[in-house]
Structure 1
Amino acid sequence: MSARTRLLGLVAVAVLAGGAQAWSMAPVARGWLQVLSVAVLLALVSAVPRPRAWLVGGAFGAGWLGGTFWWLFISLYRYGHLPAWLSVLAVALLAVALSVYLAVATALFVRWRSGQIWSDLLLWAALWLLAELARAQIFTGFPWGAAGYAHVDGPLAALAPWVGVYGIGAVSAMLGLLVQRGVASTGLAGRLGAAMLISALALLPAWSGGEFTRARGELSVTLLQGNVPQDEKFDFSRLPETLDWHLKALLASKADLVVAPETAIPLLPAQLPQGLWDGLQAHFGQGPTRALIGVPLGDAERGYTNSVAGLGAGEGKSFYRYDKHHLVPFGEFIPLGFRWFVDMMQMPLGDFARGPLVAPSFVVGPERVGPNICYEDLFGEELAARFVDAATAPTVLANVSNIGWFGESIAVDQHLLISRLRTLELQRPMVRATNTGATVAINHRGVVTHRLAPHVRGVLEARVQGREGTTPFAWWVGRFGLWPLWVVGLAGAVFGWRRRALP
C-alpha cells in the first residue's frame, strides 16, 4: 500500500469518527461515544506524518459538523428551491470551513506535544477549547453541535453550572486523550494509570454538583405546537386556518401562561383582520392568564424584528415586547458579500433589527419569564447576561422556535439537548413552545418533565417551578462573557508550547 493510499484511508476513517461524534449528540446523548470518537481522532493523528495531522483533524471536523447540521440541506433545497447540487455543496463548504479551527488545533497539538501525560492533557484540552470557542464566536458564530452536548445525561453534566458546555467539552477532550494513551500503552502500568485518571476525571464532577438556586412559586403553562408545514406557513390561502387554530388555542387556555411558537402569527399586528389584535389584548387584559406569542413587529421606518409579544392583565393597550438579539445569518440578516446567494433562494428572508442583549423579563404572577427565540438558547453566555442583576433575573426561561425549516430531521432532538444544557448551566426551568417540536417543559436539572410528540398538532399542559439564585457559570459568564475561557485556553496552549519536545 502506498503512503498516499494509506493517508487517504486514514482521512476517510477520520470522517467516519467525526460522524460518530455527531451521532453522540442525538437523538439521545451518548457521552461515551463522544469520548471514544476523540480517542480515535488522536490515534489517527499519531498514525500520520506530522505535517499531515491537520488533514486528519480537518476531516474529523468536517465529518462531525456535516453529520451534525446536514439538515440545512432541507431548508436550502426544499424551501429555498436551490438546486440539489448547490444545496449539498453549500452545507459541505460550511462544514469544511468550520472544521478549519479543529484542523489548526490538531496540527498545533502534534507539533507541541511533549509526550508527558499532564502537559499533553492540558495542551490538548486547551486547543480543543480554543477551537470550539472560535467556532462559537468568530464570523457570527455557529456552535451547533458543541462536544459538551453529548454529556447532558452523563457525569460530566455536573460541571455545567461551573464551566458550561465548552468547559465540559474540554474535559471530554482530556478523557479522549487518556483513552487513546491507555489503549496505545504497551505496559500494564501505563494502562492502569490511564484507567485511574479516566475514572477520576469522569467521576469527579459528580462530587462538584449542587443546588445553587432555590425554589419559588409554581406556574401552570399551556404550550402550543401548530405543526404548520414550512411551505404553508406564509401561504395566504392556508393562513386563515392555521391562524384560527392558534387563536382558538390561545383563548381556550386557563393556565397562568400560554405560549405560542415563533411567528405563530406570521403577520404584523397591523396586517391582521381589523379588531383581532385588539381583541387578543382585551381578552388577556381581563383575566388571570397571560400570553407570550411569536409575532413579527416593527415598521419600515424603524425596522422589523422577530419578536415575542406578551399580553396580560394590567397591560392595557400596551404589551410586553421581546425582540430577538442573536439573529441567524442568511435567515434574519445577510452577511456582507452574500446577497447573491440569498437572492437565489425563494424564501421570506430579510434583514431584521436586533433587540437588546439584556432584555426585561415578562412578569407572570410571582415569576419572571425570560423569553428567547429559536437558536438563541444556543448562546448560554448571552442568556446569562440577564442574571447579573439577581433582582430582575428570569426565574423561568421560555424558548419559542420554528424548526419546520428542517423537516422531520434530527434537528429537533439536537435543539432539545441544547435547551437541556442551558437549564443545567443556569439552573432554571425552561418551557419550549415550537411549531414542530420539541415542545416540552424542562426542570432546572435538565430533566424533561412534560413532552408533546413532535410533528403533530397539539397542546401541552404542564407545571413548572420557578427558581432564584445564581450558578457560578451564570455569575462569571454574565459579567465577562466567554473571555475567562479564552484566557484559560490560551494559558494552557502557552504552557503546552513551553513544555513541547524539542525537534
Structure 2
Amino acid sequence: MPGSGQPAWWLQLLSLATLAWLAQRASSWRRAAFLGWTFATAWLCGTFWWLFISMHVYGGLPSPLAAAAVLALAAFLALYCAAAMGVFAALHRRAPAWSAPLFAALWLLAELLRATWFTGFPWGASGYAHVDGPLAVLAPWTGVYGIGAAAALLAFALSLALRPRTWRSWRYWTALAAASGLLAACNMAATSSPAGGDQQRLSVALLQGNIPQDEKFQGGTGIPLALNWYGQQLGASAAALVVAPETAIPLLPQQLPDAYMKAVRERFAGGSQAALVGLPLGSLQDGYTNSAMGFKPGSEAYRYDKHHLVPFGEFIPPLFRWFTDMMNIPLGDFNRGSLRQPTFDWQGQRLAPNICYEDLFGEEIGAQFADAARAPTILVNLSNIAWFGNSVAIDQHLHISRMRALEFRRPMIRATNTGATAIIDHRGRVTHALPRHTRGVLTGEVQGQTAITAYAWWVSRLGLWPMWLLALGTVAAAWAWQRRRGGPADAAAA
C-alpha cells in the first residue's frame, strides 16, 4: 500500500511479477530461495514497520532493540516465501507446463503457513491489496487467500511478457485480455447488483474516544477521561445500538467507581436501545480476558471474550517472558475465549463481535456461518490500535475489515479508539467514517444481510483445508511430472 494508505493492486501485481521473473532466471534453488527471502523481508518490513511504535514509543523498548525486533520478525516470516521460491526453482524447469500454477500454489502455501503457524500473523497478505481491484470479485468465493493465489497466477503471466517470444504470441495477449475483461465484467456485475437479505435497518452510534495510548491506563489522566466521556456518550445517544471500542472502559468492573457499571446496566435495562462496550474482565485468580459486554432491555448482560490473541501484546509465547518484561504493556497476558460464541441479538439482527486483530482471521469469523439460521447478519469490530500511532496501520486495518465484508457479504461496523471508526456495507464500501485521531460519535444506519456466500459455506465447515489441498495437490502434480521427466534440471547446481 502506498503512503496514502490506499491499496494499489496493480503495484502488488508488478512487484510479484518481478519476483516471478527473477525466480525463473535463478541459477539454482538456493539463489531463488535467497531472492524470495530478500523480497519478503523488504515487503513485510514495509507492511508492519509500525510495530516499532508500539514497542519503542509506548512499550519503552530501546529503539535499536525495537527496530531489530521488527526486522527479525519480518526475516523469520520471510522464510516461508524463501522455501516457496526454492521449491519453484527446483521444479519448474522440468515441468514448464506447470510453471504458472506451481508458482501460484507455492505462493498460496507460503501465505497459508504465515497465516496459521505459530498462531499466525497474516497481516498484509497479498489479497488485501486487491480490495478495490478487479480480483475483489473472487472474495465471496475464495476469500482473501484465493485472491492472493489468483494474483500470483496473473503476476506469473505478466512475468512471461518479459520474454521476447511472448511478445510475439497472439495467444498469450488474447488470453490475458480475455481474463482481464472477464474479471472487470464480473466486478461491475457484483458492485451493481441489488442488495439482498434483510431490508430492516439498524441505527448505530459508534464511539471514538481518541484517548492517547500513553495516557489510556493512567489513573490521573486517561482513565478518568475515558470513564467520563464514554459514560456521557452511552447515556446521551439516541441510536438503537451504541458501540464503544476495545477497552473503552480501561478498568476491570471491580476497579470501577461505585455504581458505574450499575448505571450503565440501568441505562439500557428498558426502552429500545442496546450497547456493546469493550472492557477487560476477570481476576488475578481466574485470569483476565479482553472482552465486550452487551446490554439490552429484558436480558442478562451479554459477554464476548477475544479468541485470537496478539503474541507479546496479549499473550506471552514460550521462552519470551524476558522480552515482554522489557516493555510496559498493561494486562498483557489474557485467557482465550472460545472460537464459537453466541451472537448479540438485537432488533432482528444477529451481531457478531470481534476484537481488533481478530478480524484478520476470516476463517475463524466464518466458523459462525455453519448454521444459516443463526449466522451473523452484521459484523462488529471493536479496536484500539492507538499502539501504532497515526500510521498506515489504521488504513490497513480498515481494508482488512472491508475484505471480511466482501467475503461474507455482511456489513461491518467498526468502533475504534483512534480510527478508523466506520460503517462498511456488505459490498465492502465505506459509507460513513470519522476522521482518525479525533474524538467523536459516528451515527448512521446499517442493513443486515442473511444470504450465505460460497466462501462462508465452505470455510465454516472445512476451514482453510480446501486451500491447503489445492496448493499441495498442484505442487505434488508438478513434482510427479518432473519425476517422469528425469528429475530436477538444476540438480547438479543444487
Give me the TM-score of the superposition, normalised by structure 2. Answer: 0.94
Does the 8 Å contact 1:218/1:465 carry over to 2? Answer: yes
* Partner residue in 2 for 1:450: 432
* Partner residue in 1 for 2:269: 285
Does the 8 Å contact 1:25/1:145 carry over to 2? Answer: no
Letter in 2 for 1:195: W
Which of 197, 205, 228 is the matching residue for 1:244? 228
- Paired residues for 1:43-192 under 5 Å: 43-50=21-28, 51-114=30-93, 118-190=97-169, 192=170
Does the 8 Å contact 1:175/1:201 carry over to 2? Answer: no
* Partner residue in 2 for 1:231: 214
C-alpha distance in 2 between matches for 1:116 and 1:196 = 24
Q: 2:351 aligns to what SS in structure 1?
A: strand
Does the 8 Å contact 2:161/2:167 carry over to 1? Answer: no
Q: 2:449 aligns to what SS in structure 1?
A: strand
C-alpha distance in 2 between matches for 1:377 and 1:164 = 13
1:312 aligns with 2:291: no
Letter in 2 for 1:38: L
* Partner residue in 1 for 2:182: 204
C-alpha distance in 1 between matches for 2:394 and 2:42 = 20
Letter in 1 for 2:204: V
Does the 8 Å contact 1:330/1:349 carry over to 2? Answer: no
Q: 1:438 aligns to what SS in structure 2?
A: coil
Does the 8 Å contact 1:234/1:266 carry over to 2? Answer: yes
1:491 aligns with 2:470: no
C-alpha distance in 2 between matches for 1:187 and 1:54 = 26
Q: 1:230 aligns to what SS in structure 2?
A: coil
CA drift of 1:200 comes to 3.5
Q: 1:49 aligns to what SS in structure 2?
A: coil
C-alpha distance in 2 between matches for 1:442 and 1:185 = 45
C-alpha distance in 2 between matches for 1:353 and 1:388 = 25
Q: In the superposition, relative to structure 1, how do residues 133 and 293 fare at CA in structure 2: closer, same or farther (>3 Å)?
A: same
* Partner residue in 1 for 2:457: 475
CA drift of 1:240 comes to 1.1
- Paired residues for 1:425-440 under 5 Å: 425-440=407-422
C-alpha distance in 2 between matches for 1:134 and 1:409 = 27
Q: 2:77 aligns to what SS in structure 1?
A: helix
Letter in 2 for 1:196: T
Does the 8 Å contact 1:373/1:399 carry over to 2? Answer: yes
C-alpha distance in 2 between matches for 1:372 and 1:278 = 25
Give the aligned length. Answer: 478
CA drift of 1:187 comes to 5.0
CA drift of 1:188 comes to 3.8
Does the 8 Å contact 2:3/2:392 carry over to 1? Answer: no
CA drift of 1:165 comes to 0.3
Letter in 2 for 1:438: A
CA drift of 1:115 comes to 7.1
C-alpha distance in 2 between matches for 1:428 and 1:306 = 24
Does the 8 Å contact 2:160/2:166 carry over to 1? Answer: no
Q: Mean alpha-carbon deviation: is it higher for 114-123 or for 59-68?
A: 114-123
Which of 13, 31, 38 is the matching residue for 2:16? 38
1:404 aligns with 2:382: no
Q: In the superposition, relative to structure 1, how do residues 421 and 378 fare at CA in structure 2: closer, same or farther (>3 Å)?
A: same
C-alpha distance in 2 between matches for 1:97 and 1:261 = 32
C-alpha distance in 1 between matches for 2:274 and 2:95 = 60
Percent identical: 52
1:254 aligns with 2:254: no
1:326 aligns with 2:305: no
Which of 361, 372, 386 is the matching residue for 1:379? 361
RMSD over equivalenced CA pairs, Å:
1.7
C-alpha distance in 2 between matches for 1:183 and 1:113 = 17
Q: Mean alpha-carbon deviation: is it higher for 210-219 or for 42-51?
A: 210-219
Q: 1:94 aligns to what SS in structure 2?
A: helix
C-alpha distance in 2 between matches for 1:125 and 1:117 = 14
Q: Deviations over 1:452-481 (max 9, x none)?
A: 111111110011000002101001011111
Q: Deviations over 1:180-210 (max 9, x none)?
A: 10122335433x3333333333343443865
Q: 1:222 aligns to what SS in structure 2?
A: strand
* Partner residue in 1 for 2:251: 267
C-alpha distance in 2 between matches for 1:291 and 1:157 = 33
CA drift of 1:134 comes to 0.2
Q: In the superposition, relative to structure 1, how do residues 466 and 351 fare at CA in structure 2: closer, same or farther (>3 Å)?
A: same
C-alpha distance in 2 between matches for 1:182 and 1:225 = 48
Which of 211, 220, 223 is the matching residue for 2:203? 220
Q: In the superposition, relative to structure 1, how do residues 173 and 115 fare at CA in structure 2: closer, same or farther (>3 Å)?
A: farther
CA drift of 1:45 comes to 2.4
C-alpha distance in 1 between matches for 2:349 and 2:3 = 32
Q: In the superposition, relative to structure 1, how do residues 432 and 187 fare at CA in structure 2: closer, same or farther (>3 Å)?
A: closer
Q: In the superposition, relative to structure 1, how do residues 43 and 24 fare at CA in structure 2: closer, same or farther (>3 Å)?
A: farther
C-alpha distance in 2 between matches for 1:395 and 1:27 = 29
Letter in 2 for 1:233: K
Q: Mean alpha-carbon deviation: is it higher for 214-223 or for 288-297?
A: 214-223
Give me the TM-score of the superposition, normalised by structure 1. Answer: 0.92
